């Protein structure tokens, strides 16, 4: 699907506040509400828009500590990668994960109660896995999500 400047404008607004009423979205980009609704429907159907999410305060749900865990697998085989990905999808403490290139194979963002929970989680979730050969844990002191798109206005598709 080819996105134009109106689609990009709608996406920018939705990234900042996915709860904006359709009428407000349409008004801010200068189109009819029916057009805005149709464009958003089209972007969802084509998978340009993957979903809408609630940003939750970690402390409100019992997350007192977050970390990024770098994981290195024993070998780079499809079987091990897919097995490890399936395992990560079952863990409630995993907030997100990235399959990456470089010295490590995965970066895993985790949220836990405290350092004792992190230690037990890392032992059970990573070090006991047969495909994992090395982990390195980095504590996260602060996290901010960028609501902007990578391309500044005017540099995306027209």
All structural domains of the chain: 5-45 (1.10.10.10), 62-140 (3.30.70.920)
The rounded Cα 83 to chain-centroid distance in angstroms is 20
Per-residue confidence (pLDDT) for residue 153, from 0 to 100: 60
Per-residue confidence (pLDDT) for residue 104, from 0 to 100: 97
Q: What value does the mean pLDDT take over residues 2-22?
A: 93
List the structure tokens of 8. Answer: 């990009």
Spatial separation of the C-alpha atoms in residues 94 and 91, rounded to whole Å: 6
pLDDT at 158 > cutoff 80 = no
| 90 three-state secondary structure | coil
Per-residue confidence (pLDDT) for residue 147, from 0 to 100: 84
Q: By percentage, how much of the chain surpasses pLDDT 90?
A: 84
Task: Classify residue 7 by burial, with Cβ atoms within 10 Å: 0-12, 13-18, 19+.
Answer: buried
Give the confidence band of 156 by pLDDT, cuts at 50, 70, 90. low
Q: Taking CA 87 as the corner, what is the angle to CA 85 and CA 93, rounded to the nearest 5 degrees? A: 100
For residue 133, count other CB atoms closer than 10 A to its CB. Answer: 13
Per-residue confidence (pLDDT) for residue 13, from 0 to 100: 94
For residue 67, count other CB atoms closer than 10 A to its CB. Answer: 19
Range scoring the smallest mean pLDDT among 4-8, 41-45, 115-119, 151-155: 151-155
pTM, entire model: 0.83
pLDDT at 111 > cutoff 90 = yes
* Average pLDDT score over the chain: 93
């Amino acid at each position: 699907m080819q996105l134009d400047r109106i689609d990009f404008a709608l996406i920018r607004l939705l990234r900042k506040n996915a709860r904006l009423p359709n009428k407000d979205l349409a008004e801010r980009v200068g189109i009819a509400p029916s057009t805005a609704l149709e464009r958003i429907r089209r972007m969802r159907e084509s998978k340009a828009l993957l979903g809408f999410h609630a940003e939750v305060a970690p402390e409100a749900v019992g997350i007192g500590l977050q970390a990024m865990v770098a994981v290195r697998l024993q070998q780079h085989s499809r079987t091990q990668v897919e097995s490890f990905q399936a395992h990560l999808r079952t863990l409630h403490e995993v907030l997100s994960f990235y399959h990456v290139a470089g010295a490590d194979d995965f970066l895993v963002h985790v949220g836990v109660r405290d350092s004792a929970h992190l230690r037990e989680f890392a032992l059970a979730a990573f070090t006991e896995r047969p495909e994992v050969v090395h982990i390195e844990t980095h504590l996260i002191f602060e996290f901010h999500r960028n609501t902007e798109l990578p391309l500044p206005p005017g540099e995306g598709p027209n």
